[in-house]
Every structure is written in structure tokens, then in C-alpha cells.
Amino acid sequence: MKQLMLFLFLFVVINGCSDGNFKSYKSYGGKTYDSARSICPAPKGGYFLAGMSNSFKGNTIDGYLIKINERGKEQFAYNYGGSGDDRFYKIIRVKDGIIMCGYSDSDGAGLRDAYIVKTGYNGKIKFESRIGGAGNDEAAGMCETADGKIAFIGNTSSFSGANAIETYFSLHDSTGKQLLSRTYGGDKYEFGMSIVPADSGFAVAGRTSSRSKGSYDGFVMKLDASGNTLAFKTFGTTGYDAFEDIIATSDGGFAAVGEIADTAKDGNVSQIYLVKLDSSLNKVWEKTFGGKMLDMGKTVIEDNGNFVISGTTDSFGNGSSDIFLLKTDAMGNSLWMSTFGGRKDEYAAGAVKSPDGGYVVAGWTGTYGNGEYDAFAAKVDTNGMLK
């Protein structure tokens, strides 16, 4: 596959220190390890960040929720979980609160269970559920249906074949009760990473080694409302290729983002991979962006027909890993790119559009803050300039 080198109309390297507002950026956490792995808007302004923390409850890792206002000031933070390892990978806002998902080994049926927590907008728990079997089970992505059900996608070794990991789909009512579950896979490894409502069912993206040309290929599949497979497509080359996120687009199709690496050609290099699909999962176009090192897309949003990708880059910025935002036009051509980071490592969790037309990006930082890593948020304008 022809690798398209990133043409930057605007490249912004951002340094700063936390000053309590979005004039530079803001970090959140304690003395050890804290991170944001997902972001969503709050209903009356501000944002929710969800991830993990081990700064506040001894040596355990807990699910971590932070509420910040429009200027990035922390309003409250809560930890969730038990005596073991509990983590959130995704947060979404629903009609009557927020829902976070990830995994927990504190309680439950197996070594590690998919973990779902619903709270009000004040962070107070409405329900928590652990779902799984005797093995390892995780929830990576989640969405709400039009009738208020909750669907998550992840991976399971509890309900897969011998020595295999399969994509795991689970559907729940608004109280957290499991209604049904499905698994998808082959004789190797499949990981479901993202799910969105689509045509009265769902569209899912992730990575597969059972049906790949290389070590992994990115996959996209469509499911009906009961989780039955309607279509399945793979994308990639002979190396490690994976999708991290999928969205439904305004033209009735989809866009998926992740990373692509043609190991036969590029060795240990990966690039940001953006694929536009029609409603039947046929590829409309694909684009790659990056430099000479490791670059990957984490999330994608659509903004007036354009696309905004958040991710992590080793090729650009100040440190060994920096957070980036990349905006493209409707055909995937680069408009601008901004990076965020210092001399250590920064990693992206996602980005959302802000009410003023700019964007808020979240992740975690090793350069700035109080501990080894802190949760991170930054605000940029419509051109990627720091606000």
C-alpha cells in the first residue's frame, strides 16, 4: 500500500504548564499514576473524563471519573472499584447520566470481568455490573440505542474457543441487566474496540488475527439489533493493522481510524490510518498520515463533513510520544495538525467538539502534573491553536 506522508498546512508544537484554565492545558491526579482514557461533554457545560487511578486508594488501581468545567477547572473526581484492578476505557453520556466501561478483577465470575458503571451527572452510582465468565473479559467500547438500551463491545477468553480470544458483544437494559450476548472470532485473536448504532443495529470496529493478511488486520462489521452478523470486512496490509474507533457519518456511511504498518516495507513504523466506508462497508477511500516512527489514531469525530482525529505520535512533537490532533477535509486531505507534550511521554484518549467550535483533547501526561502520569486536557480553536 502506498504510504501517504503527512502534508501539514499547520504544525503546532505546544508546551505549557497547568495554570487552572485552558490558556495552556490542565492536568489532574495525585502522586502516582492517573490517566484519562475517554472524554464526553457534560450536559450543562464542561466535560467528563474517565480512566484509571492508583493515587488515592493505596496500591489498587480504580476506575477514575473527573468532571471539569468549560475552563478546565476540576469540579469533582471519584474512584470506583474494589480491592483489585479496575479501569475505565470509555465514557458516554446517556439520557439520565453517564456510563463508563472497562474491566475489573476486584469481584465477579472470573480472572477479569467486563465492568460497567452508571452514575448521575454528579458522579453518584446508579448501578455497577461485572459481566463475564471464568477467564478474562473486557469492555472497550459502548453506545446507547434509541430506546435506551446499552451495548458494549470488547473481548473475551471466557466464551471463546481453546487458546483464542474473541470479540464480545453484550446488550443491557437501562438498569444494567444483561439481555443477550454474542461472540465473534476464529482460531486466533479478535478484539472489538468501538461500537455505534447503525440501521437499527450496530457497527463495530477492531482488529483480527484469525482473518488477516498479516499479524492483524483492522475489521468492521455490522450487526442487527440482536447482535447477529450482517456484514464483515477486513482492511490492512501484511503487518499490524488495527482500528480503534468507528463513527457513523452524515452521508449514511462510516469512518474508522487506527494504525497501519506494512512490516515488510517499514519495519517497526506505523502510521495513522483513516478509512471512509459506505453504508455497506465498502471502502470509499483510505488515507495514511505520519512520519518515520510510530503514529496511531485513537478516535475520530465528524465536524461539518470534515474529520478530526486524536492520537499519539512518536514522529512529531517534543517527547518520545506526544498527543496530536489532526483535521482533514471530507476526502481525508490534511488541513492542520497540532501536537501536545514535553520531554516525557503523552498519550491520547480522545477529543470532542466544544461549543465555541474548537476542540478539547484528553489523555495522560508524564511531563507535567503531580505524579508519574496525570490525566490531561487541552483546548484548541478551530485551527488547532491552543486557547
Enter the C-alpha cell of residue 18: 497547568
| pLDDT attached to residue 264 | 63
Domains of the chain listed by start with CATH number = 11-380 (2.120.10.30)
| pLDDT attached to residue 13 | 37
pLDDT at 153 over 90: yes
| pLDDT tens digits for range 252-296 | 999 999 999 976 676 668 999 999 999 999 999 999 999 989 999
| pLDDT attached to residue 269 | 87
Q: What is the pTM of this model?
A: 0.93
Residues in CB range of 268: below 8 A, 6 or more apart? 261, 294
| pLDDT tens digits for range 56-97 | 887 789 999 999 999 999 999 999 999 899 999 999 999 999
Can you tell me the mean pLDDT for 146-160?
95
Q: What distance in Å separates the CA atoms of residue 35 and residue 373, rounded to the nearest whole number?
A: 7
| pLDDT attached to residue 22 | 63
Enter the C-alpha cell of residue 24: 495552556
CB 171 within 8 A of CB 179: yes
Nearest CA to 246 out of 165, 192, 210 is that of 192
Q: What distance in Å separates the CA atoms of residue 187 and residue 150, rounded to the nearest whole number?
A: 29
pLDDT at 214 over 90: no
Q: What distance in Å separates the CA atoms of residue 273 and residue 295, rounded to the nearest whole number?
A: 9
- CA-derived radius of gyration, the chain: 19
pLDDT at 360 over 90: yes
Percent over 90 (pLDDT), the chain: 81
Q: Tell whether the torsion through CA atoms of 168, 174, 178 and 179 is positive or negative.
A: negative
pLDDT at 188 over 80: yes
pLDDT at 351 over 60: yes
Question: Cβ of 90: how many Cβ atoms within 10 Å?
Answer: 26
Phi, psi of 263 (to 5 degrees): -65, -30
| pLDDT tens digits for range 90-136 | 999 999 999 999 999 998 777 899 999 999 999 999 999 999 999 99
Q: What distance in Å separates the CA atoms of residue 368 and residue 375, rounded to the nearest whole number?
A: 10
* Confidence label for 10 from pLDDT (cuts 50, 70 and 90): very low
Can you tell me the mean pLDDT for 328-345?
95
